[in-house]
Amino acid sequence: MRRLPQTMIIRLLFIGLLMSGAPVLAVEKILHFDSDIHLTTDGKMIVVETIDVWAEGLAIKRGIYRDFPTRYRNQLALERRTDFEVVSVLLDGEPTAMMRQALANGWRVYMGDKNHYLSHGQHRFQFTYRTNHQLQFFDDHDELYWNVTGNGWVFAINKVTARVHLPDGAGKAIKDIQAWTGYQGQQGDNFEIIPGGDEQQKVEFATTQTLAEHQGLTIGLSFKKGVFQEPGLQFGRFIQHNILWLSTLMSIFGLLFFMVLAWYRHGRDPKKGIIIARFKPPKGISPAAINYLDNQKITNTTLTAAILSLAVKGALRIKQKSQHYRLFKQKPNQSLSKGEKQLFKNLFTDKNDELIINKQPNGKLAKGKKQLALRLKTEYKDACFKNNRRYIIWGWLLSIVCCALFYTLFYGFGFNWGELLAGFLTFVFIFIIAIIFLMTWPVIVGFLFILILVGSITEIMNLFAAVQVGIYFTLVMIGLNILFTRLMQAPTIYGRQIKDQIAGLKLYISMAEEQRLNLMNPPEKNLAHYEALLPYAVALGLENRWAEKFSTVFSAEQETDKTTTDLPFSWYQGVVISGQSFTEQLSGISRQLDNTLQKAADVPASKQSISSSSDGYGSYSSSYSSSSSSSSFSSGGGFSGGGGGGGGGGGW
């Protein structure tokens, strides 16, 4: 077998090394980013950027693009705009095609011919532009705080150099020179500052190591006052730049003014009357209606009070077993309210004179609760309460206008309106839910939790930083409208009178014995009086207090007949626990019945509908300019990605 010549082996190894190095060479990157900055005393700048790239036809096919922000906002969202004018674009020393595209906060400049693909290898782009209003003026100094490269480049940058050419006399007025490298917000020190000679008419910067994707170089020069011409107060320019900000602010104040005025004229409660203890309930008002008017919503306690009222009036008899209740149809000996008649009809349908209630869903109870709710709302909602719905709707609509202005202010007309539409539809969805459920507190807490969770997910997914501001502004608007909705639900004059009477009944039921004795002609404490007001005590959540007031009466009843196993009422038959007083047993009836009804009256949602009453166009250029431009680096707040200029770029 012949041996390969030594020279052949060396050649093969060399070829292998070249092939192994091919993937490294195939990585597209910026070989050298050079920025030549000419600064004049009136604050104008001419910048020549020479960008050497290595193209492999991956991202860099026809050329590169450069993003340049021209709109900056401070922490108060006040906007400052700078001018931007493209002077020339060269490719490998020859003029080339250029296309400008508007971004939400600036411009994107495409360099290269869309009909011509670049050859693989090294190419040089020279980008010259004018800008102004980049200097910042402070009480004791002026400064140029300039993001040379921008932190939005999708390529690594091997080397960055920058030269700032100063006007006459500016070199001697320099107070401080600083620079920063790294990702947005970092304060890396991978740079060197090259002295500019005795006159210091030029300051040079250079990085000392490769910048990774989305890393950049930012420089800062501060000067003594008097070198640069500080512009006067330009009120017209401020108004022009911040018309959306002012419109948004005015719309918010307008919304608040509307809400306060609407509440003052239409949402204030009528003045309360003098509350005195009442021995009797309001005339013609059933226990279920008392519960609804007192809480402004329908609950299982409403149903419990109605069933006890039917029992006390002789319309049904309750028999308690250990695990369930039986309701037996009777002939009422007292007149029933409209709601009670409807409930009685729903409980005893067809020829069925008996209803078993346990903790299993019961269609008759569910239907009875629904019909009772409808009847109570029909009788009392409009008569006793002003919902002021038209003002509430106007409040929501004006809030939507405020949100639209706010989103436009923060994201501009180049914003991804698909995301805004999604947010708007979410707002509308919540508005519809508010109308349906009238924003009960469980619904409010649930939706706020969901929206906060959405805000957290948005942050995790690294969406635009300002989207968080929009989400929380929307939350504030929703919270404001929830509060407004609550405040606008005022009682009518008739409703106020009924609520005052309910308050008087509540006062009587809950007052101590010595207070009761001080009343004029207090009713006699007997079983009939206890029985008459028991459903109302249940409706007001005071059944325990009411039973305690009659403990002596019940004790006397027990002493009279120690052999009885039933409570002393014709409408109730139950199990008396040995050793337990009538007081404890009576106070537990409504609680046990209510607990059972919580399960029995609830059916799956599908079976009941009762509601409680109570690279592309429009992207942000990656300049991170929303808040960095207006800050000063001299106080130690400088960082990579701060200041004017900035942006970034990529290939196309």
Where are the domains positioned within the chain?
25-239+623-651, 389-488
| pLDDT range class, residue 573, cuts 50, 70, 90 | confident
- Please state whether the predicted TM-score (pTM) of the whole model is above 0.95: no
Q: Report, as an integer, the average pLDDT of 261-287.
A: 89
Cα gap 371→609, rounded to integer Å: 11
The reported pLDDT for the residue numbered 291 is: 94
Measure Cα distances from 478 to 408, 465, 470 in Å: 18, 21, 12
Percent of the chain exceeding pLDDT 70 equals 70
Select from 376, 386, 363 the least CA-distant residue to 302.
376
Contact yes or no for 78/245 (Cβ under 8 A): yes
| pLDDT range class, residue 622, cuts 50, 70, 90 | very low
Burial status of residue 208 (CB atoms within 10 A of its CB: 0-12, 13-18, 19 or more): exposed
Q: Report, as an integer, the average pLDDT of 390-396.
A: 90
114-118, 434-438, 543-547, 639-643: range with lowest mean pLDDT: 434-438
Mean pLDDT of the chain: 79
Taking domain 25-239+623-651, whether its CATH number is 1.10.3720.10 is answered by no
Q: Report, as an integer, the average pLDDT of 427-439.
A: 59
| Residue 255 backbone dihedrals phi, psi, to 5 degrees | -65, -45
Cα gap 524→510, rounded to integer Å: 16
Tens of pLDDT, residue by residue over 62-73, are: 999 999 998 877
208, HSE (Cβ side, Cα atoms, 13 Å)? 9
The C-alpha angle with vertex 73 and arms to 69 and 79, in degrees rounded to 5, equals 95
Q: Report, as an integer, the average pLDDT of 567-595.
A: 60
3-class SS at 104?
A: coil
Q: Report, as an integer, the average pLDDT of 28-54.
A: 95
Q: Give me 363's structure tokens.
A: 């269609």
Q: With a cut of 90, say whether residue 442 has pLDDT above it.
A: no
Measure Cα distances from 24 to 20, 32, 55, 364, 637 in Å: 8, 17, 12, 77, 38
Identify any residues that bridge with 355 across adjacent strands, giving them in sequence order: 327
